[in-house]
């Protein structure tokens, strides 16, 4: 018999999705039932984001709106705020948000069963922490965290203060989790972390098994090879792109030739002020090497404009760098002055209107490059994973993504197929494109 009913709400990035999946699995094993409405829930677990001030505001606003909604519920659901906001502002929150019954930091989420039990008055003989519980994911794609935390302390970023110092997950746990997810029907494993390229650097003792990301990719591919699974890696910093890693991506068929490398800027002075390393020449050489050594290489990056002290000339330098490297996908952000970061205290803060103007220029260029990269696939044939059905004005169609499209980030493939199941892999000829989207004709299915 169910101990109680729970609603889950996740805000922010894929790493938060993984954390919510983990809490859901723990609570499922503890005999709690998931529901779809706050009015039907005994408790609501909201996993929050605090990467930017805007994300923090969204988390607070969503929580307050939720508090109003649960007042109308039959059960007067308790609200449990988890994740980044409690990690960043924990001491201040009980007074600021009396509507919330409990706050759970990101590093405390494995104890979620005990928190819910206490709030709902549930007593049990079983331990409230279940260390080896299996995640369940509905859909064709699953994110797997290989690390958490960050040691970079970029001057604009609050992540180290929220998530703590960098720590790698052991390879055996990563591989076991991926194996279980694939057994449940997942067709693509996306490896994520704050800085995936340096996975394993914090292993102090001699490691029995993979000791760096390149070795982990090879071991994971060998484990999953019989199941025909894609492996994608996100959030690689430039310094993590070793020759061994490049070779592993190139020579391991299961690992997609798709790399997400957030550069933020190319100007050496700005990078130094950001507490990042590198230079325009070094970055140019890296991207040229990737495209030279890995056939069909697809590159996603990030541009941060309006950083304190950035001049018009430096902003133009970044635009020229983006154009020259013809990135397939570029996420553009205007600098946000984040409380507690070093950059927030810097002189020469850029005016908001100037930041927005620079961001718009960068976005216009990013879209021009990205739309052209998407259109370049028209006429090609490639495998596509079916992700679901999209409804639009009474018209429905299957959508999926190709290897060169990261799920939830890079657009989709719209398919002229009448019957399919989520997770099916079909061979598609791309016949047209619009913005980041592709239209495809199914020519063969697995």
84 is in an annotated binding site: yes
150 is in an annotated binding site: yes
For residue 286, report the phi and psi dihedrals to the nearest 5 degrees: -65, -50
82 is in an annotated binding site: no
49 is in an annotated binding site: yes
> For helices 171-183 and 213-224, what crossing angle results, to 10°?
30
Please count the other Cβ atoms lying within 10 Å of the Cβ belonging to residue 421: 9
Identify the helix (H) or strand (E) that includes residue 373.
Answer: helix 352-375
For residue 179, report the phi and psi dihedrals to the nearest 5 degrees: -60, -40
Checking DSSP bridges between strand 4-10 and strand 413-415, what pairing results, if any? unpaired
Residue 88 near residue 162, CB atoms below 8 Å: yes
102 φ/ψ sector (left φ>0, alpha ψ -120 to 50, else beta): beta
Residue 217 near residue 190, CB atoms below 8 Å: no
- Radius of gyration for the chain, computed over Cα atoms and rounded to the nearest angstrom: 23
- Interatomic CA distance for residues 83 and 162, integer angstroms: 9
Tokens of 298: 């697809």
State whether residue 310 is helix, strand or coil: coil
Identify the helix (H) or strand (E) that includes residue 283.
Answer: helix 280-293
- Interatomic CA distance for residues 316 and 279, integer angstroms: 15
| Range 144-178 burial, b when 16+ CB lie within 10 A, else e | bbbbbbbebebbbbbbbbbbbebebbebeebbebb
Q: Which residues contact 160 (CB under 8 A, 6 or more apart)?
A: 149, 150, 151, 152, 153
Which residues fall in the annotated binding site? 13, 49, 84, 150, 154, 157
In the annotated binding site for [4Fe-4S] cluster, the residues are 13, 49, 84, 150, 154, 157
């Amino acid at each position: 018999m169910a101990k109680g009913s729970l609603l889950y709400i996740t805000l922010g990035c894929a790493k938060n999705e993984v954390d919510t999946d983990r809490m859901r699995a723990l609570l499922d094993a503890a005999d709690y039932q998931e529901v779809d409405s706050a009015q039907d829930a005994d408790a609501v677990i909201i996993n929050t984001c605090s990467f930017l001030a805007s994300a923090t505001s969204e988390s607070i606003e969503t929580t307050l709106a939720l508090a109003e909604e649960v007042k109308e519920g039959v059960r007067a659901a308790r609200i449990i705020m988890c994740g980044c906001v409690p990690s960043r502002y924990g001491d201040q929150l009980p007074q600021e948000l009396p509507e919330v019954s409990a706050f759970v930091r990101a590093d405390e989420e494995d104890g979620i069963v005990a928190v819910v039990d206490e709030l709902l008055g549930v007593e049990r003989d079983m331990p409230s922490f279940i260390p080896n519980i299996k995640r369940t994911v509905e859909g064709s794609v699953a994110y797997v965290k290989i690390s958490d935390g960050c040691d970079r302390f970029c001057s604009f970023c609050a992540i180290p203060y929220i998530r703590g110092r960098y720590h790698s997950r052991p390879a055996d746990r990563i591989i076991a989790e991926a194996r279980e997810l694939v057994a449940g029907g997942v067709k693509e494993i996306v490896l994520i972390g704050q800085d995936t390229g340096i996975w394993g650097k914090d292993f102090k003792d001699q490691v029995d098994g993979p000791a760096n990301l390149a070795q982990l990719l090879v071991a994971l591919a060998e484990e999953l090879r019989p199941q025909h699974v894609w492996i994608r890696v996100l959030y690689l910093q430039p310094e993590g792109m070793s020759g061994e890693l490049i070779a592993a991506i190139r020579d391991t068929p299961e690992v997609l030739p798709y790399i997400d490398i957030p550069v933020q800027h190319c100007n050496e002075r700005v990078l130094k002020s950001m507490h990042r390393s590198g230079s325009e020449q070094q970055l140019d050489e890296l991207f040229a090497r990737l495209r030279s050594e890995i056939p069909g290489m697809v590159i996603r990056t990030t541009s941060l404009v309006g950083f304190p002290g950035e001049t018009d000339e430096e902003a133009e330098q970044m635009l020229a760098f983006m154009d020259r490297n013809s990135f397939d996908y570029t996420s553009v952000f205007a600098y946000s002055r984040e409380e507690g970061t070093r950059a927030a205290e810097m002189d020469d803060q850029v005016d908001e209107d100037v930041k927005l103007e620079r961001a718009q220029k960068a976005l216009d260029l990013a879209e021009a490059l990205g739309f052209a990269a998407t259109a370049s696939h028209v006429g090609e044939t490639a495998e596509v994973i079916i992700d679901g059905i999209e409804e639009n004005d009474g018209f429905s169609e299957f959508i999926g993504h190709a290897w060169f499209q990261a799920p939830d980030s890079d657009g989709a493939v719209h398919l002229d197929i009448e019957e399919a199941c989520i997770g099916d892999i079909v061979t598609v000829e791309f016949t047209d494109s619009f913005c980041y989207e592709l239209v495809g004709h199914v020519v063969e299915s697995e």
